[in-house]
Chains A and B, each alone.
Chain A
Amino acid sequence: MATLLVLLLVLPAAGLVALYAAPAGQAARIGALVGVLVFLLSLVLLPLFDYDRAGQLQGQLDRSWVPAFDLRFHLGIDGISLPLLLLTTLLTALCLLYAVRTTTRDESGRTFTALVLLLEIGMVGTFVSLDLLLFFLFFEIVLLPMYGLIHHWGTGERRRAANKFILYTLLGSALMLLGFLLIHAKTGTFDMVELGRLHGAGMTASVQGAAFLLVGLGFAVKTPMWPLHTWLPDAHTSAPTVGSVLLAGVLLKMGTYGFIRIGAGMLPQGAHQYAFALGAFGTVGIVYGAFACMAQVRRGGDLKRLIAYSSVGHMGFVLLGIATLTRVGIDGALFASVAHGLITGLLFFLAGGFKERLGTTDLYTLGRGLYERARRYGALVAFAAMASLGLPGLAGFWGELYALVGAARPAAGLTSAGFHVLMAAAGVGMVLTATYLLLVVRRLCMGAAAGPNGGSRYEPLRDLTPRELISWTPLAGLTLVAGLWPAVILALADPAVHQLLGGAR
C-alpha cells in the first residue's frame, strides 16, 4: 500500500513531464487521462485497506529526507484521511475530464492542465503525509497553482481576488508553521504518528494552547472560519469552474482535516481551551453565511458568490462538530467535509455550466423557468439545492446531524449550556439555509419561461451535455449513496476518530 501512496504522488508528477513532452494541443487529454488513472489507482486502496484496523495508520512509508530539518518522508493513511483522499482524486479526475473541452489547445491550456496536476500533488500529499513538515510543504504547494488558476484564468476582479487569497492563506500558513515549530520544540519530533500517540503528552496545557492557537489560525483561514472568510467569496466568484470546484471541494477540507488530525488529535488540551470559541465562530459562520446568501438573491446577485457564502455556513457545521471534541461530533465533521466536497463541487459545476452557456452567473440575468428550458439541468439544480440544505436521505444531512448530536453533549469539561446555545443558533441557520436555497430554486428553476406571445422570454438553454453528465453524475450519485448509506464513510471514519481522541468516548 505504501508503494501505492507514493505512486499517487508520482503519477501526477509524471503527467506533468508528459504534458511538456507532448504537443500543447494534447495537454488537456493527457491531463484527463492522468486524472482518471490517479483516481483508479486510489480506488485500489479500497481492497488493500484493512477495515478491521481502520483506526490505525496503514501503508506507512518512513524515510529520512532532509535530516538537517528533521524532515522525513513519512506517508500513510487511516480511516480519516482515506475518504478525503478519494474525494480529492475523484474531484480532480472529474475536473480534468470536464476541462477537456474548455481548455484551449495552446501553451496556456498546457499551463492550465499542469497547474491542476500540481494542485493534485499538493492535495494528495497533504492528506497522506505523516510528518508535520512534509504536511506543511504539501499544504503550501497547493497555494501556488490555485493562485495561478485564479489569477490567469479567472474572470472579473481576478487579480485582486487571487492576491487576497494568497495573502490570507500565506499569512495563515506562517502562523501554522510557527505552531509546528513550537510542537517540535517541546516534543522533539515532527512525526504525526508519534504525536498522535502522545496525544498531547510532553506539552503543558499552556504550550498546547499556544500551539493550537497558531496552528488553528492557519487552518481557520483555510476552512474558512468566520471572520477570516472574506477571501473566499472573492476567490470563488473569480475562479474558473475547475478552480472553484477544487477550492471548495478539497482545499477547504485541508483546513478541517488539519483541525481534526493536528488540533484535536495532537493538541487535545489546547483544543479543549479553544473549543468553545471555535464552535462559536463556526456557528456565527452558519448564520452569517446564510444571511449573506440571502442577500445575494437580488438583482445583481451572483450565483458563485452565493455558493461561496454557503460554504462558509457548511464549514461552520464542520467546525461546530470538531469543537465538541466528541467522537460523534468529529465523525459528523468528517462526513460533512466529504459531503460538502461532493455537493458544493456539483453546485460549482452547475454554476460553471451557466457561465459557459450564458456568459454570466448573475442570478437575475440567468432567467427563470429552468425546469422548462432545460429539464434535466433544472432537476439537477433542484437536487443539488436539496442536498445542500441538508435534506435527510442525501449526503448533506448526516454531518449536520452528528455535529448537532455532538453539541447536545460536548466533551467532558466543555460548557454544555454554551453548546446548547450554539445548537439553537445553528438550528436557525438550518432554516435560513433552506430559505436561500429555495429562493434560488424559485428564481432559476420555477416561473414561466414562455413569454406572452408564445415565444420564449429568456435565452434558450442547452440541456445537459454528455460531457457534463460524465463529470457531474458521479457527484450526484455519490451524494445519494452517502445519504442513503452513510456507513460507507462512517465505517471508515468512526474507528479512526475513536483512535484519534485517545480511545476515549
Chain B
Amino acid sequence: VNFFALLTIALPALGCAITLLGARDARHVRFWSVAPVAAALLSSLVVQVAHGTGGTSTSVTELAPAGQFTIWLGTRVTGLSALVGILVTAVALCVQVFSLTYMRHEKRYPTYAALISLFTAAMLLVVYSADLVVLLVGWEIMGACSYFLIGHYWERADARSGSIKAFLVTKAGDVPFLFGIAALGVRAGSFRIDDVLHSVAVSGLSYAPFIAVLLLCGVVGKSAQFPLHTWLPDAMAGPTPISALIHAATMVAAGVYVVALLYPVFLLAPGVLTAMAVIAAVTMTGSAIAAFAQTDIKKVLAYSTVSQLAYMLGGLAVGGRSAAVFHLITHGAFKALLFLAAGVIIHRVGSNELSAMGGLRHRMPIVYRTMTVGLAALVGVPLLSGWFSKEAVLGAAYDARGQLAAAGWIVLVSGLATVGLTAAYATRLWLKVFWGPFPDASPDDHRIEAPQTELVPLIVLAVPAALLGFVAFGGGAFGSWIGDSFGNAVPATAGADLRPAGVTSLLAFLLTALGAGLVWNLWRRDPAGDPAAVLGRWRETALYAFYLDDVQDLIVVQPAKMLARAVGFLDTEVVDGYVRGAGIGARGLGGLLRRVQNGNIQLYLTALFAGVIVIAAAMIIFVGHSAGQVR
C-alpha cells in the first residue's frame, strides 16, 4: 500500500521534470503531462483497493535528523487519504486531458502542464504524508504552483496582482500554521502524524486551543475562508482549467482535509470549533450573496467555492467529520465540472462576462447538459450528489449536542439560509448562460461545441457529480470507509449515518425551491435583464464582496508600505547616521573618518591592523605568562 502511495506522489513529480526537459516538443509535452497522472490515478486506485477499510499503514525513512525533532519522509495511508488521493488524481487527469486542446495555442503550455503535474504531486504529498512537516512542504509547494499558474498571463496586470495576492494571503495563514505544527511537534515530541495522534489520544495535549487556533489560521487561508478568502476570486485571473483543479477540487480542499486529518486536536478545543462554525457561517452566507451579484462567470463559481468550502468547515465544526469529507468529495467532482464547463463557454463566447452569454443551450448541448447536472448538484436537487452531502452536513449540525450545540445552531441556521442563496445564484447563472436571448454581440446561430478532449472530461465528471450521493444510502458505510480520526478502522455499523432525514431535509428543500423560484420569477418578467438587479443599491456592495479588499488594503497593505518607507529612511539616515554621528562626536573616530574622506586610509588601516596584532601579541605574552604562573 505504502509503495503505491509513494508511487502516486512520485509519478506526477516525474512527469513535471520530464515535461520540462523536452519542453520544445509539443507531442512530448502532451504525453508526459497526461500519462504520469493517468498512471497515478491507477496507482491511487490500487492504494484504495489494497487498503480497503483497514486502519492505518505507515512506512517512513529518515529525511532530516535533528535529535528529537527528526523529520520522516514516508507515506501514511488511511481510508481518508486513500479516498482523497483518488479525488486528486482523477480531477488532475481530467484537467490535463482538458488542457490538451484548451491550452493548445498557448506558447507557454509546457510550463503550464509541468506546473499542474508538480501541483498534483504536491497535493498528493499533503494527502499521503506521514509527517506533518513534509505535509507542510506539499502544502506550500501547492501555494507556489498556484502563484505561478495564476500568474500564467503575466502580461496582464490582474494576473500579476492576483498571483501575488494569492501567495501572500495564503502565506499569512501558512505562517501560523507552521507555528501550530511546530507547537504540535514540540508538545507531542515528534512530527509524525501517528505519534502526534497517539500522544493526543493517550495524554491529551497541553495548550490544545492555542494550537488549534494556529492550525485553523492556515486552514482559513488555504481554504479561502473569511477573512482570508479575498485571494480566491482574484485567482480567477489564471487559465480556467487551473481554477477547476486548484481553486475547486484540490488546493482549497487541503485545508478541510487537514482539519479532518488532525481532528482529535480540534476536538480537544470545542471553543475553537465554535469559532470555526462562526467563520464558516459568515463565509458561507456572505460569499453566497457575493456570488449572486457577480457579473463574471468564473467569479460566481469562485464565490460559490468559498461558500461550499464553508459548508465543509461547518460540518467539521459540529463534529460531522464524515459528512464534511463526503461533501469535500462530491464538491470536488461537481465544482471541477462546473469550472471546466465554464472554461469551454468562455473560450467559445470569448468573454467572461455573463452579459455576453445567453441562449447557449442549443449551441452547446453537451456543455448545457453536463453543466446543468453540475449546477443541480451544487444547488442540492434531491438525489444528486450535492444534495446528499449537504443534507449530511446539515443533519450533523442538527444533531450536534453538548459542547458543540452552539456551533450546531450557528451552522444549521446559516447553512439553511445558504441553501436558498445557493439555489438563487445557481439558477441565475444557469438562466443567464443557457436561456434567454442571444446577446447582440454574437448573432451567428450555429453549434459551437468544444472538441472531444474537452467534452470527455465534462461527461466523465458529470457521472460522479450526479451519482456519488448514493453512497449515503450505505448509512455508516462511508464513515467506515474513511476510518476514524485516529486512523483506526470503524465497523460499518458504528459509522456516522449520512442518510438524509428529518426536518432539515424538508426545510432545505423548501428553501431551495424558494430561492430558485424567486430568481425564475424575476427572470420570467425580464429575460434580458439580470435577476441580481433585485438587490438594488446593495448590488454594488455584494459585487465588491462587501469591500473587504479595501479594508484589507487599509489595515494591512498601506501600513506595511508606510513602515517600509520609514525603515528605508531610518536605515540610511538614523541607524547609519549614528555611526557617522558617533564619529563626529568622538574626536578620535572623527579624525579617522576625516581620513576616510581624504582617501588616505590605507596607511592608517594597515597601522590599525598592525596595531591590533601588536597589542594582541603583547597581551598574550603578558597574560599567557601570568596564566602560566597561576598554573
Contacts and interface: CB of A to CB of B under 8 A. Distances in A.
A368 to B, nearest CB: 9
A140 interface: yes
B400 to A, nearest CB: 33
A136 B605 CA distance: 17
B332 to A, nearest CB: 24
Interface string B120-163: 00000000000001001111110010011001001100001001
B621 A68 contact: yes
A447 B560 contact: no
A294 interface: yes
Contact of B66 (A143, A186, A327, A438): A327
A490 to B, nearest CB: 5
Nearest to A331: B66
Nearest to A143: B609
A405 B186 contact: yes
A490 B64 contact: yes
A494 interface: yes
B67 A404 contact: no
A159 B389 CA distance: 71
Given A174-B612, A184-B624, A446-B151, A490 B66 contact: yes
A76 to B, nearest CB: 22
B65 interface: yes
A422 B565 CA distance: 23
Contact of B154 (A392, A432, A447): A447
Contact of A188 (B66, B560, B631): B631
B620 A294 contact: no
Contact of B560 (A144, A432, A446, A448): A432
Interface stretch (A162-170, A346-354, A460-468, A470-478): A162-170
A402 B182 CA distance: 9
Contacts of B171: 430-431, 434
A385 B323 CA distance: 41
B624 A391 contact: no
Contacts of A432: 560
Nearest to A294: B564
Contacts of B186: 405, 408-409
A462 B519 CA distance: 58
A177 B616 contact: yes
A328 interface: yes
Contacts of A164: 579, 596
Contact of B179 (A328, A427, A435): A427
B8 to A, nearest CB: 18
Given A409-B186, A427-B179, A487-B64, A170 B567 contact: no
Contact of A294 (B137, B154, B560): B560
B65 A188 contact: no
A408 B168 contact: no
Contact of A490 (B65, B167, B183, B569): B65
B605 A166 contact: yes
A292 B567 contact: yes
B612 A170 contact: yes
B534 interface: no
Interface residues of A, number: 76
Interface string A230-248: 1001000000000000000
Interface string B60-76: 00111111110100000
Given A230-B571, A295-B564, A486-B63, A185 B69 contact: no
B67 A505 contact: yes
Contacts of A327: 66-68
Contacts of B619: 181
B568 interface: yes
B84 to A, nearest CB: 20
B176 A160 contact: no
B160 A392 contact: no
Contacts of A147: 605
Contacts of A233: 571
B568 A70 contact: no
Contacts of B65: 487, 490-491, 494
Contacts of A133: 620
A181 B164 contact: no
Contacts of B609: 140, 143-144, 170
A427 B176 contact: yes
A20 interface: no
Contacts of A498: 67
B203 interface: no
A393 interface: yes
Contact of A423 (B63, B179, B616): B179
Interface string A172-192: 011001000100111010000
Contacts of A405: 69, 182, 185-186
Contacts of A485: 63
Contact of B623 (A68, A184, A227, A490): A184
B26 interface: no
B63 A487 contact: yes
Given A230-B576, A391-B140, A431-B171, A181 B623 contact: yes
B478 to A, nearest CB: 32
B628 interface: yes
A274 interface: no
Contacts of A331: 66-67
A330 to B, nearest CB: 10
Contacts of A230: 571, 575-576, 579
A405 B68 CA distance: 11
A382 B164 CA distance: 13
B183 A435 contact: no
Contacts of A445: 154
B154 A371 contact: yes
Contacts of A177: 612, 616
A190 to B, nearest CB: 9
Most buried by B among A408, A430, A505: A408
Interface in B575-631: 575-576, 578-579, 592, 596, 599, 601, 605, 608-609, 612-613, 616-617, 619-621, 623-624, 626-628, 630-631
Contacts of A136: 616
Contacts of B563: 291
B506 interface: no
Given A163-B596, A170-B608, A448-B155, 10 more contacts: A230-B576, A292-B568, A294-B567, A392-B136, A401-B133, A430-B175, A434-B167, A438-B147, A438-B164, A446-B154
20 contacts: A68-B620, A69-B624, A140-B612, A163-B596, A167-B592, A181-B619, A184-B624, A185-B627, A328-B67, A328-B68, A331-B66, A398-B64, A404-B179, A431-B175, A435-B168, A445-B154, A446-B151, A446-B155, A448-B155, A494-B65
Closest 10 CB pairs of A and B: A295-B568, A294-B564, A291-B567, A446-B154, A392-B137, A486-B64, A427-B175, A448-B155, A230-B576, A327-B67
